[in-house]
A and B are shown apart, each in its own frame.
Chain A
Amino acid sequence: MHLAYLDAGSGSMIVQAVVGGAAGVAVAAKLYWRRLRARLRRQPGDRD
């Protein structure tokens, strides 16, 4: 995959979802929900 030469900044990319209005907030919420779900799924395995 081609990546831009500039480091766009991970936080700078995520914040753009929020500044983009209601639809963007939904995207950010979905992103965080997916992250949380992925973490919860990993945890039982981590404890073993």
Chain B
Amino acid sequence: MDGSPALLAARAEPGSFRDPGNRVFYVGSRVYRGLAPRAAANWEALRGSAFFPGLLAAGKICGTEPAEPGTVPAAEAGRWAAVLRHERIPFVSYPYEWSFTMLRDAALTHLEVLTEALADGFTTSDGSAYNVQWRGAEPVFVDVGSFEPARDGEPWAGYRQFCQTLLYPLMLQAHLGLDFQPWLRARVDGIEPGQIRRLFGGTRRFSAGALKHIHLHDALQTRHGATGTGEVRAELRAAGFSRDLVLATVRGLERLVRRLDWQPPASHWSRYGRSCGYSAEDRRRKERFVADALAGTGGCRLVLDLGANDGAYARVAARHAEQVVAVEADPTVADQLYRRLRADGERRVLPLVMDLADPSPGGGWRAVERAPFAARARADAVLALAVVHHLAIGRDVPLAEVVDWLLGPLDGAGRRGRLVVEFVHPEDPMARRLLANKPAGQFPGYRREEFERLLDARCVAVRREELACGTRTLYAGTPRG
């Protein structure tokens, strides 16, 4: 329960500080944005514009309205010229957790919003991938504070940021076949022109977009980096830089982004759903087990499907949840899941790319600008189907730690919390394959009895079901208070 928002303390969003003109803060579960005088004037212009209401109604921009008087704590209300209230994004995620097609759709969403804004005399003051979030598999532009009236004769201020956080990561994957996620995770400002230029030497400089957006961009930035941007703005204006040129640049970027494609290699995991030995009967049993376990909760706000693979159980969970975050370590599998969810118009499942044994840490300024996965993952239910053996055997994580970690996201869920977990017996062909790569006798504790002891010590009302294959067992339980 929120109580009366006006009486609650506001909590600043740690990632919202770069633009001093506006700042996001939370009151309970509500999301607000405080606007300084100039940003408030921009908002008034934006409300009256032709493009903004249309994009808002189409769901391309996150829901935004003036905050109702009396709902904002006095300290915040007195600090800002105006306060907006935003729609709450179900789960905040970051570009280094997205698949290739997700990042491309985020780039296209940003460009589409910018194109409509430019046609109506507005622009965006930045061009970051972090301006986009998701409702399920649907991208949504969230940085309403970045809209401002365009000034004649000025290039797009967000171009460099767009290159560093969207275009270059896409080119890295499309042209070189390198996963972009580790690059974005390591650098909050993305990949710099001088870094990526070294990867596009030789004939690679003729890859789509490389000559202009990488080589020329880096050369000019190296040559003119010391010149003040105010001076260059004035020079460009005097030389006849026009708004049409900004539009031409943005259209060119859109054409380039649409051309960037990545055909993933046939990976082991994309065949997993068919090859891991589940019979149709066992898949049906698992689906029914998940549905029964979640039906008892009376509806979940957030479900985490850890090790989502093809997303079959995430889709089952979505019938009982507002949002399911389907976490998959293999970028290929996650990308295929995203494409299917988009094709189906599914708005309740968000696929993410993340290695469960190496989840996203905190990043950026003071390591809080981008929150670690664990801080964002407060769920009502956790699904961990066919994943425990990969962590306990494949990644050597002690079994007790795996169980504790699976229950971590349910800390605040109380009696509504549900853990649905599958234990693959050591005799199962998949477990044997993993064990075969390890020294004999390294995992004496990896036994069904030990797993049940750990689960019973931490959960109540544990329900179990044997799968027909005879070497896998499903459990559903509620964490002890």
Contacts and interface: CB of A to CB of B under 8 A. Distances in A.
Nearest to B213: A19
A21 to B, nearest CB: 5
Contacts of A20: 245-246, 248-249, 252
Contact of A16 (B20, B218, B246): B246
A24 B245 contact: yes
Given A17-B241, A18-B216, A10 B249 contact: no
Contact of B228 (A10, A11, A18): A10
A21 B20 CA distance: 34
A21 B240 contact: no
Contacts, number: 127
Interface in B217-259: 217-233, 235-236, 238-242, 244-246, 248-249, 252-253
Given A9-B225, A11-B222, A27-B239, A17 B216 contact: no
A36 interface: no
B73 interface: no
A4 B242 CA distance: 18
A16 B155 contact: yes
Contacts of A13: 155, 159, 229, 232-233, 236
A40 interface: no
A27 B236 contact: yes
B125 interface: yes
A6 B225 contact: no
Contacts of B155: 8, 12-13, 16-17
Contacts of B239: 17, 27-28, 30-31, 34
A20 B231 CA distance: 20
B157 A11 contact: no
Q: For this complex, into which size category does the number of interface residues on chain B fall? A: 35 or more
B107 interface: no
Interface string B196-219: 000000000000000011001111
B217 A11 contact: yes
B18 interface: yes
B134 interface: no
B248 A2 contact: no
A14 B358 CA distance: 40
Chain A contact residues: over half helix, strand or loop, or mixed? helix
B38 interface: yes
A46 interface: no
Contact of B217 (A1, A12, A34): A12
A11 B240 CA distance: 17
B159 A11 contact: no
Interface string A13-47: 11111111101101110110011000000000000
B355 interface: no
A13 B151 CA distance: 14
A4 B374 CA distance: 34
B158 to A, nearest CB: 7
A28 B229 CA distance: 15
A23 B252 CA distance: 13
Contacts of A34: 235, 238-239
B477 to A, nearest CB: 49
Interface string B319-332: 00000000000000
Interface in B5-44: 18-21, 38
B156 to A, nearest CB: 7
B448 interface: no
Given A16-B249, A18-B216, A6 B158 contact: yes
Interface in B328-357: none
Given A12-B159, A17-B155, 11 more contacts: A3-B229, A6-B158, A8-B155, A10-B232, A11-B219, A11-B220, A11-B222, A17-B241, A27-B240, A30-B239, A34-B235
Interface of B: 18-21, 38, 125-126, 148, 155-161, 163, 212-213, 216-233, 235-236, 238-242, 244-246, 248-249, 252-253
Interface of A: 1-21, 23-24, 26-28, 30-31, 34-35
Which 5 residue pairs spanning A and B have beta carbons closest together? A11-B221, A11-B220, A12-B160, A30-B239, A16-B155
